[in-house]
A and B are shown apart, each in its own frame.
Chain A
Amino acid sequence: MELQYFLLLAAALFCIGIYGLVTSRNAIRVLMSIELLLNAVNINLMAFSNYLDPSGIKGQVFTVFVITIAAAEAAVGLAIVLSIYRNRDTVDMEQFNLLKW
């Protein structure tokens, strides 16, 4: 097993996440894409931790922090999506044009 396999896999997941981020029109799908990005970073960290830092495993600790914060971010994100849905009755990103970009 090589470190590079895992890194390439993480890079692929990261790019899929970016694609979803840019093209999705549903706000919840954008949140899911952000979770994909964070998971790509986690694979990176875990791979580095196993191959470069096998006794210190700081990467695993870092991953635990990222998982924690991702959960908090998802909760806050859904709360915001709920409150906007209550006022606007849609989650379509193209409709959120009250403020000019």
Chain B
Amino acid sequence: MDFANLVAQLNAGTILPEGIIIATLLLVLVGDLIVGRTSSRWTPYVAIAGLLAAVVALYFQWNNPNSISFLGGFNSDSLSVIFRVIIALSAALTILMSVRYVEQSGTSLAEFLVILLTATLGGMFMAGADELVMTYVSFETLGISSYLLTGYMKRDPRSNEAALKYLLIGASSSAIFLYGISLLYGLSGGETRLTAITANILANNVDQSIGLLIALVFVIAGIAFKIAAVPFHQWTPDVYEGSPTPVVAFLSVGSKSAGFALAIRLLVSAFPAVSEQWHFVLAALAILSMLLGNVVALAQTSMKRLLAYSSIGQAGFVMIGLVLGTEAGYASMIFYLLIYLFMNLGGFACIILFTLRTGTDEISEYSGLYQKDPLLTLCLSVCLLSLGGIPPLAGFFGKLYLFWAGWQAGAYWLVLLGLITSVISIYYYIRVVKMMVVKEPEEMSEAVKNYPAVNWNLPGMRPLQVGVVFALVTTSLAGILSNPLFTLANNAVLLTPMLQPTITTIQPAPNPATPGYADLESETKEAIEG
């Protein structure tokens, strides 16, 4: 294989977005080394510009006919593109809110950005990894950088402790995941490409063996750790409470989306032989996550812990879409993640703002905030109500689509449970909102009484303001104008070849042979190309 031939086969253009992020990472790192501490004035904006450039590059990857690259190592199909966009956007929003937070804690910003960009890179590669080695290396890139980010406030014993717990639980879960992967390598007779594994497993007659089941269980343990599904959630509340809040925001959206992307790709392409079993296991995890996440959240007194448990519950809702295995199921899952990106990050931006001004994140300290800071109150209320699923807001439509898809696929119990737990979740979200807009001045908390004058001119406050307002606008408008996002999510599923065979085998209703379905497909293709 000569060099020119190899270059042609690699098809390296598909990782242009990741290449841009690596270039940005090096620029931030070297720029900070040369310029010194004053570089913190421009490094965050360089990082955000790089991430947005990556999103633009991803736009051109959409519906790429030649999506397989690196001899089967990476697949840049539409599914991976949309997940990579979600991860890159979550990192960009995280940087907006971390500038002030990191500055105020006296740590160096450039290294923080470098580690965060590496985590983003790991997540983006994980969303498209089509091969076992690539999956593992990107899984660990995301994991190890998350441990470092968690422990970044190194003089704080809580941050240390969170990092240690995250590291130990994360490393052991990734070792278990790796054991499952090694079994997969053995069962397929020495194959590492996901697309070839299934064929080999069938050829070797091990498709119903206990080995494949053990591999499945071990792999699901690794994935469930990443998406923080019960019973692999124990790290979540501690890590969320002890880590710097911007890191929590990234973990709850970026890292989690990467986990879902991995779950779809790995389970659909490598485990179709045990399809019933993994659907069953994931349904159980979804039920447990929805129940435990939402019920335990009721008892929380710290805002970060509240959002930790609520994010466990939200992961349960998203898993409904994964369990269904239908086209609408996958599409609703992507749609919900898109919306979740804005509303959850908006919520975290508000918490960061409140923390920076008052130095606390106790829920009781929020009482009476409306009279001191109406903008913050408005934004936090909108984001929390949207997370709970109150009608005109974006979250409502996300949940509606998820539950509708579930009802269509006949998963009645799952949908019913989802409805009940969303009602529970509305209760604890509203409790916070009610506390903030309380009228009487004497009910105001100490923190709010001493609330500093709203001043956006301090260094690093502007980006935070932009983040808060952006999240507020998108969360309120994405509900009414959700159609583009909706089409986007649907197209991402329609244009992904990997998801097509499972959809037709599991749900024969939209038969590809019928003219109506073919029309729909060609229409969408035209709509995308035009």
Residue ranges of A at the interface with B (Cβ–Cβ < 8 Å): 7, 14, 17, 21, 27, 30-31, 33-34, 37-38, 40-41, 44-45, 47-49, 52-53, 56, 58-59, 61-62, 65-66, 69, 72-73, 76-77, 80-81, 83-84, 87-88, 96, 98-101
Contact = CB atoms under 8 A, between A and B. Distances in A.
Contact of B167 (A38, A76, A87, A101): A76
B162 A73 contact: no
B426 to A, nearest CB: 26
B147 A80 contact: yes
A56 B188 CA distance: 13
Contacts of B176: 37
Given A58-B133, A76-B147, 16 more contacts: A21-B172, A34-B168, A34-B171, A48-B186, A48-B190, A49-B190, A58-B185, A58-B190, A58-B191, A62-B182, A65-B137, A83-B154, A84-B161, A88-B157, A96-B165, A100-B238
Contact of B148 (A47, A76, A99, A100): A76
Given A34-B172, A52-B189, A53-B190, A80 B164 contact: yes
Contacts of B155: 87
Interface in B179-194: 179, 182-183, 185-186, 189-192
A73 B242 contact: no
Contacts of A34: 168, 171-172, 175
A89 to B, nearest CB: 10
Given A69-B140, A84-B160, A52 B190 contact: yes
B462 to A, nearest CB: 32
A30 B191 CA distance: 32
Contacts of A73: 140, 144, 171
A44 B144 CA distance: 23
A40 B164 CA distance: 23
B85 interface: no
B256 to A, nearest CB: 20
A77 B151 CA distance: 11
Nearest to A3: B186
B167 A77 contact: yes
A69 to B, nearest CB: 5
Give the most central of B132, B163, B190, B242: most A CB within 10 Å: B190
A99 B241 contact: yes
B414 interface: no
A44 B140 contact: no
Chain B interface residue number, banded: 35 or more
B144 A88 contact: no
16 contacts: A21-B172, A27-B164, A34-B168, A34-B172, A34-B175, A37-B175, A47-B186, A53-B189, A65-B137, A69-B136, A72-B140, A77-B171, A80-B164, A87-B160, A98-B158, A99-B161
A73 to B, nearest CB: 6
Most buried by A among B154, B167, B241, B242: B167
B179 A40 contact: yes
What does DSSP make chain A's interface, helix, strand, loop or mixed? helix
B64 interface: no
B234 interface: yes
Nearest to B176: A37
Contact of B133 (A38, A61, A80, A99): A61
B144 A76 contact: yes
B238 to A, nearest CB: 4
Interface in B183-217: 183, 185-186, 189-192
Nearest to B163: A80
A83 B151 contact: yes
B153 to A, nearest CB: 10
Given A44-B179, A48-B185, A52-B189, A98 B147 contact: no
Contacts of B137: 65, 69
A76 B189 CA distance: 34
A14 B100 CA distance: 45
B161 A96 contact: yes
A61 B147 CA distance: 26
A37 B162 CA distance: 22
B322 to A, nearest CB: 26
Contacts of A101: 234, 238
A62 B132 contact: yes
Contacts of A48: 182, 185-186, 190
Given A37-B172, A73-B171, A100-B238, A65 B136 contact: yes
Nearest to B188: A52
A100 B309 CA distance: 14
B178 interface: yes
Contacts of A96: 161, 164-165
